[in-house]
A and B are shown apart, each in its own frame.
Chain A
Amino acid sequence: MSDSTPLLALEGLAIRAPGRMLVEDIDVTVLPRQVTALVGPSGAGKSLTARAVMCVLDVAPGLERGTLRYPALDPTRDWYEGVRGQGVRAQQRLLAQTRHLRGAWFTYSPQAASSALNPGRTIGRQLEIAVGRRDQPPANMGAEIREILGQVGLDPRVSSALPGELSGGMSQRAALAIAVAPKPRLVIADEPETGLDPVLRRAVVELLVTVCKDYGAGLLLISHHRDTVARIADHIVQLPGQEVEEAPR
């Protein structure tokens, strides 16, 4: 397989909720060492599309059309085969079939970094678990963890810290370290800049892109910030969508 084989090829995605289509005719491709940005107004289905990419679907009747391939992993397999139009049960089966991929072949970085970190475990231990998901665990775990921390600009001493002891910017870096530690091929980041000030926002996004490229991974980035997207994205997927009032929290 060549180095430019797409990591993700999602075509013609259509997901239905009772009475309306949530997303329709969406194509997303992510190439190695490149950034694909998913943009669009609130309610356009950005997060839902990201979930569909990860095979995490829990809508009824749900997936109606579309094909999902991870060509770099398996050039022929369409993961939505047997799921399209088959309802919630089939979606749950898909969830189980792809369990080994999540947190390993691809990883997910949610909006709030603090929610991605386990408050009761040290950063070092959480990194150890993430590194343990690699196909080939490193010979020296301690050295590996120090190296990952260094890559995201954190001091090796952070390894023994609990998430509660870190500042907002440090938590973001720690969450990022955990997202890349399994050496995933594909990283899916859902608005990693939420709640950060402009300087930190740029620093976090730049770091995310740099680390993904260093690891040879592709990045699917959901973002509200036009300046960020314009600066770093290789491809932009604009979701249509109407203004809808956001759901109650």
Chain B
Amino acid sequence: MSSPDSPKGAVVAVRGLVKTFVQAGPWPWSPERAVRAVQGVDFEVAPGEVIALVGQSGSGKTTVSRIVLGLEEPTDGQILLDGERWDGRTESDRRTRRARYQYVPQDAMGALDPQQTALEHVVETLAVLGGRDRAQAKADGVAMLQRLGLGERLDALPREMSGGEQRRVTLARVLALDPSLVVADEPTSGLDPDRRASVLEALVGNLPEHAGCILVTHDMTEAREWCDRVLVMLAGRVIEEIDLAESEPAHPYARILFDPWSGAVPREPLATQGCPYQPNCPLDTARAPDSPCGRAVPALTAMDGPEHRVACYAHGSSSQS
């Protein structure tokens, strides 16, 4: 099922992704409501590349990351992993490749078995999902736990570990599988800044060379320090794509997100027509009498280089077709 338009070598290619959830009303007799969580997202992740998906709660970043791994099905669009369609398959069909595409959850304690030691967690994953024999799985598991600084904690149960150690166990069992893609959903939430850095160092520093990584986060320092490229999401769309080593955010929403004290915080609800940020936008373009901002959604457009794209009429975007 290889697809002709898949980019050569990309680990992940997301094409025109749309996801609409049907949400029940507050009462049994209330009408159902359609929630448009993702409204047309395209991006790729190259081997060895770490990208960040950032945005506020409800921007659709977790939904995108779950659809990429096949944990949710898209309403429309395609997911290609290593050039092959991944969406719309049965789990038994995905099973043979499952070990290559791995997920690091937000709640480490909830993801660990309270009765298994650190080493048992990794060995079981390697034996069951990775298909390695027990002796090999054990040797590989010990090696990976040692690399992540848990060499002395092989026999510790989850309740005996600190929050940072629990997280490193969830990382060890993912990294030991030699994955080609790791999707980490806020792997550092609830940790303080110093320990956040050590968890990310464990993740990014031990990724296989050929692997791509998607980090979902709302910590902008993490995105800046650990990621090659950042996708800023707002209302189910990517509104800016940027390499922070090269340029600074240009979209007024991205600027507030990266430096919340740099201007007024958005107070108005997002617009449902046109640019979602338009009711809060401080730029003159949004107020101009013939402004396109309230009429149509701006398309992602290259700014100061192909690596930096922004969806804002003030920065030269045209309307999304």
Contact = CB atoms under 8 A, between A and B. Distances in A.
A227 B256 CA distance: 13
B162 interface: yes
Given A165-B26, A198-B220, A199-B256, A246 B195 contact: yes
Given A167-B57, A231-B261, A199 B266 contact: yes
Contacts, number: 63
B190 A199 contact: no
Interface in A66-114: none
A224 interface: yes
A202 B55 CA distance: 15
Interface string B135-166: 00000000000000000000000011111111
B261 A203 contact: no
A202 B260 contact: yes
B192 interface: yes
Interface in B80-138: 109
A169 B194 contact: no
Interface string B19-50: 00000001000000000000000000000000
B265 A195 contact: no
Interface residues of B, number: 29
Contacts of A200: 56-57
Nearest to B261: A231
How many chain A residues sit at the interface, stated as a range, is 20 to 34
Contacts of A167: 57-58
Tell which of A194, A196, A201, A249 has the most Cβ of chain B within 10 Å. A249
Interface in B179-197: 189-190, 192-195
A248 interface: yes
Contacts of A42: 192, 194-195
Given A165-B26, A167-B57, A224-B193, A198 B163 contact: no
Nearest to A153: B267
B249 to A, nearest CB: 12
B257 interface: yes
Contact of A224 (B163, B192, B265, B266): B192
Nearest to A112: B190
Contacts of A206: 265
A3 interface: no
Contacts of A247: 162
Contacts of A248: 159-162
A246 B163 contact: yes
A194 B192 CA distance: 9
A198 B195 contact: no
Tell which of B165, B220, B265 has the most Cβ of chain A within 10 Å. B265
Nearest to B218: A197
A245 B164 contact: yes
A231 to B, nearest CB: 5
Contacts of A197: 55-57, 218, 257
A194 B190 contact: yes
B261 A227 contact: yes
Nearest to A202: B260
Nearest to B166: A249
Given A42-B194, A197-B55, A224-B193, 9 more contacts: A167-B57, A197-B218, A198-B218, A199-B256, A227-B261, A246-B164, A246-B192, A248-B159, A249-B162
Nearest 5 CB-CB pairings of A with B: A202-B260, A197-B218, A198-B260, A197-B56, A246-B162
